[in-house]
């Protein structure tokens, strides 16, 4: 299935070569939400991505499942649901249900306390 414009001149990777190139998280000023940015290599076949947000004690705070994204630059918001134990960690795993799985990518960040 071709979903990129033919004139984009991108080298699209096979599932074995597709991986996350960048993962960042930026807390919103309210201290209750986090903006997550993920970039992946341009791909031939749309992957799946699982995202897990944990607090300083390793407790799950939030999760997200991204099924067959249309693009390779993703941004979304995750809610901290009252968790305040910094540092927080985001782990993103890119995989194909019946194929290869890339190594997980981790990003650690702090949420400043609201005053």
* Per-domain boundaries in the chain: 12-109
Domain 12-109 has CATH 2.40.50.1070: no
Q: If pLDDT is split at 50, 70 and 90, which confidence band does 3 have?
A: low
Q: How far apart are CA 94 and CA 67, in angstroms?
A: 10
**Nearest Cα to 76, choosing from 28, 43, 34?**
34
Tokens 């995750």 locate to 78
The pLDDT score that the predictor gives to residue 39 is 97
The pLDDT score that the predictor gives to residue 87 is 95
Q: Mean pLDDT over all residues of the chain?
A: 90
Q: How far apart are CA 9 and CA 27, in angstroms?
A: 35
Q: Considering the chain, what percentage of its residues have pLDDT values greater than 90?
A: 78
For residue 6, pLDDT beyond 80:
no
Q: What is the pLDDT of residues 75-90, one digit of tens each?
A: 999 999 878 789 999 9
Q: How far apart are CA 32 and CA 83, in angstroms?
A: 8
The pLDDT score that the predictor gives to residue 84 is 78
């Amino acid at each position: 299935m071709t979903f990129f414009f033919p004139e984009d001149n991108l080298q699209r990777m096979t599932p074995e070569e597709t991986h996350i190139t960048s993962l960042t998280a930026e807390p919103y000023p309210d201290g209750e939400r986090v903006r997550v940015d993920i970039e992946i290599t341009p791909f031939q076949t749309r992957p799946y991505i699982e995202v897990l947000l944990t607090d300083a004690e390793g407790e799950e705070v939030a999760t997200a499942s991204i099924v067959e994204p249309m693009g390779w630059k993703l941004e979304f918001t995750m809610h901290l649901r009252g968790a305040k134990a910094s540092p927080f960690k985001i782990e993103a795993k890119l995989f194909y249900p019946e194929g290869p799985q890339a190594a997980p990518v981790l990003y650690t960040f702090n949420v400043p306390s609201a005053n």
